[in-house]
Amino acid sequence: MKINKGHRTYLLMIIILTAALFVMALNYFTSENGNYVEISVNGNVVNKLPLSKNTTFRINGYDGGQNTIIIQDGFCYVNEADCPDKLCIKQGKISKSGESIICLPHRVVATVINENENKVDTISK
């Protein structure tokens, strides 16, 4: 059976998409839950909140805009934002180590971290 050029392209796309979905699923199911949310504005850390304590935190962004960050039941999400696109609200809830919610207009980033995690950036001999 001979596969023509057009079908080979579709087959390659299906293989690549399947591999990407597999890697994403593997990453999601093997990553650990974080225990803190680190909140930064314009690259400067302004607060570090535990995911174990339900909290509402209002943050002033770089340009004076505001975001309301909610920590509830081990998850973090943005509930309110006065930015024009509201993409930070649409990003949903995060709880896994390394996940982030980013509000570009206000330069606000909320990143889940796990302080128990052993991270090695470089090893030198």
Task: Write out pLDDT tens, residues 87-113.
Answer: 999 999 999 988 999 999 999 999 999
The pLDDT of residue 8 is 85
| Sequence-distant (≥ 6) Cβ neighbours of residue 84 within 8 angstroms | 105
The pLDDT of residue 118 is 57
In a domain, 102, yes or no: yes
In a domain, 120, yes or no: no
> Mean pLDDT across the chain, nearest whole number?
87
In a domain, 53, yes or no: yes
Find the CATH number of the domain harbouring 103. 2.60.320.10
Between 2 and 117, the more confident residue is: 2
Q: Do 98 and 42 belong to one domain?
A: yes
Fill in the amino acid letter for 71: I
- Domain residues for the domain of 26 are 1-30
What share of residues in the chain are helix, strand, coil (percent, to 5)?
A: 25, 35, 40
Q: Do 42 and 25 belong to one domain?
A: no
Please state, in angstroms and rounded to a whole number, the distance separating the CA atoms of residues 71 and 82. 19
Whether pLDDT at 47 is above 60:
yes
Whether pLDDT at 64 is above 80:
yes
Q: Do 18 and 45 belong to one domain?
A: no
Q: What is the pTM assigned to this prediction?
A: 0.71
In a domain, 2, yes or no: yes
